[in-house]
Structures are given as C-alpha cells and as structure tokens.
Chain A
Amino acid sequence: DAGVTQSPTHLIKTRGQQVTLRCSPISGHKSVSWYQQVLGQGPQFIFQYYEKEERGRGNFPDRFSARQFPNYSSELNVNALLLGDSALYLCASSLWGEETQYFGPGTRLLVL
C-alpha cells in the first residue's frame, strides 16, 4: 500500500509570496496533521484535520491555514512568507481516534 505522499518535494519562494503544499493520506486514513520542522529541531504541530474540519491547531500565526477535501487529502497554505518559514513541512495521517501517526517524506521550503 502507498504511504503518505506529499508534493512538491522541494520549493523555493521569496519573502512575501504565498505557497501551497499538498498531502495525500494513507488509504483509509481520514485524519491529516501538519508539522513544521526547522533545521536542527523536532517537528512542531501546526494543524490537524478530520472530516474536513479543523480539530487541532498549534501556536502558528494566521498566515498559516489548511483545508481537507472530501477524498481526505489536504493542503497547507502559508501567506506572506518570511525567511523563518524555511523548513521541512511534514504531513501525517492516522485513523481517527488512533494515536499513531504515519509521516510522509515532507516538502522542503526555502524562502529567500
């Protein structure tokens, strides 16, 4: 079975631009979570979505938003990019009510 997939794998943007990252969960998983991993640190929780609704939000500014589609795939949007947004963005999927999350390979974003 295919694991969690993310696109694109790499992205370069300039300050002030907007970016959209995409994630497809493992088949049968209805919950998707997003994490930001800055170089040299552990991942930080951004959002969790289930059945197209936000079920959890981390300590990130409103420039960060996400949505989930009827097929349970998800998009993460970041507006007005800052240099500090440069990071590996990880998507994870899980069964609702199941604590184990399975991660995708990530999208590496570089903001210049």
Chain B
Amino acid sequence: AQSVTQLGSHVSVSEGALVLLRCNYSSSVPPYLFWYVQYPNQGLQLLLKYTSAATLVKGINGFEAEFKKSETSFHLTKPSAHMSDAAEYFCAVSLYNQGGKLIFGQGTELSVKP
C-alpha cells in the first residue's frame, strides 16, 4: 500500500532563507506526486505535480520539487522565503487507476520570521 511521510510537522525559516519541506513516499509502482498548500480557513491549492515527465518540477510562487526514485523522495524547495509563504503544506501521492484516491501526508506548517 502506498503512503506518504512528511518529516517535520513544523518548519520555521527567516524571510529570504531557503525553504526545504521533506516528503518521502512508499509505492510499489511509479506514482504521481503532488504538493498542495493550504492557507488558514481555506481549501487546498495545487503548487506542483510530478507525473513521470521531468524529475525536476517547477510550480507556482517560485516553488520546485525534485523526484528522486532511488530515495523515494519528493522534497519541496524555494530559494528565498517570503512572509506570504506561511501556510500548511501537504505532499500527496496517487496511482493511476486508483479511483482518484489521493493519499496525503500529515502536513508541514511553515512559519516565516521577519
């Protein structure tokens, strides 16, 4: 069965610093991988996705993620944090023909200090 682990329930960075949010997945077959962001009292917004094309995926708001099969990882990065990046971030995995089922990690809350 597939699963997602996000290391660190809370990450704090200074404005302008590198953002690194970790995600590891477990899957018996190559998965589709996603990062979503959730601002307080809102739904989920898609940041980026990996669907077996390029391993380095660029998303919105300057975020990118790299799929590393050997490490079963899909870590999210941003070179320079902005105050507006403060939110909850979720990594998710799905398999083709699994009835649209996204499996989410527990989430990582990102705080950005001025």
Contact = CB atoms under 8 A, between A and B. Distances in A.
Nearest to B97: A97
SS class of chain A's interface: helix, strand, loop or mixed? Answer: strand
Contacts of B41: 108
Contacts of B94: 99
Interface residues of B, number: 26
B82 interface: no
A32 B103 CA distance: 16
A99 B96 contact: yes
Interface in A37-58: 40-45, 48, 50, 55-58
A104 interface: yes
Interface string B91-113: 01010101111111111000000
Interface string B29-55: 000101010000111111001010000
A101 interface: yes
Given A42-B90, A58-B101, A100-B49, A105 B96 contact: no
Interface of B: 4, 32, 34, 36, 41-46, 49, 51, 90, 92, 94, 96, 98-107
Ranked nearest first, the 5 interchain pairs of A and B with the lowest CB-CB distance are: A56-B99, A42-B104, A48-B100, A103-B44, A103-B43
